[in-house]
Amino acid sequence: MKTTGTLRRADSAPSPIRSLAWAPRWTGDGPRFVDELVGWLLTAGRRPYDGQVTLLEHALQTAALATVHGARESLVVAALLHDVGHPLAEVASSEPVEVLSHERLAASWLGRYFPASVTEPIRLHVQAKRWLVANEPGYVATLSAGSVASLVEQGGPMGAEEVLRFQSEPFAAAALSLRRWDEEACRPGARCASLEAYRAPLLRQLAPGR
């Protein structure tokens, strides 16, 4: 939905992914990592999102919609984590970091711990909005005011060549589903599972070797 802008890095500066001080540190203990991630989500998720819900409420509603629609577990986890790039960007914005949009920042950091089936729908979910606006008449009318405003910043509707490139992405269909749930998940007071319900899926979806 809304973006927080881009992040810039001087050539000699460290990777933004390594420099984020808040980030949970991998110690070889999957449950401990998930505990730290959940704790951070509870804190970072307090920030307002699109003027109607908090970021955590939005994340939980998106994951709940993925579950209701029978999505595979990796896509449910992607739905839960798809906007972590917003608070990541807020922390990183005080540092000299490379140009990354919120979806790329999230996918880049999460890629250290989760497989492509989780991170690629996240990386593509903004492009999915642009594809939907370009290809489905009336879709733009379903967008929130914040999402309409950010569409211009994100590049507007896709052109023909962009459409073809997006459609060739292995996780394009998953990203389109995630995008639809993303737009719907802004309902004040909606009842859905708590963050605690996602501890086991988060643990199961850690990349092999984690």
Whether the CB-CB separation of 120 and 104 falls below 8 Å is answered with no
- Find the Cα–Cα–Cα–Cα dihedral 3, 107, 45, 73, rounded to 10°: 130
Q: Could you give the CA distance from residue 33 to residue 28 in angstroms, rounded to a whole number?
A: 8
Question: pLDDT tens track of the chain, all 210 residues?
Answer: 443 333 333 233 334 444 444 556 666 788 888 998 999 899 889 988 888 899 999 999 999 999 999 999 999 999 999 999 888 876 655 544 444 688 998 998 899 899 999 999 999 999 999 999 999 988 988 887 778 888 878 888 899 999 999 999 999 999 999 999 999 999 999 999 999 999 999 999 998 877
Cα–Cα distance measured from residue 48 to residue 45, given in angstroms and rounded to the nearest whole number: 8
All residues at 6 or more sequence positions from 71 whose CB lies less than 8 Å from its CB, including other chains: 79, 177
The ranges assigned to domains in the chain are: 29-203
Question: What residue has token string 């389109």?
Answer: 176
Which among 2, 4, 18 is positioned nearest to 96, based on CA atoms? Answer: 18
The CATH number fitting domain 29-203, selected from 1.10.260.40, 1.10.3210.10, 1.10.620.20, 1.10.10.10? 1.10.3210.10
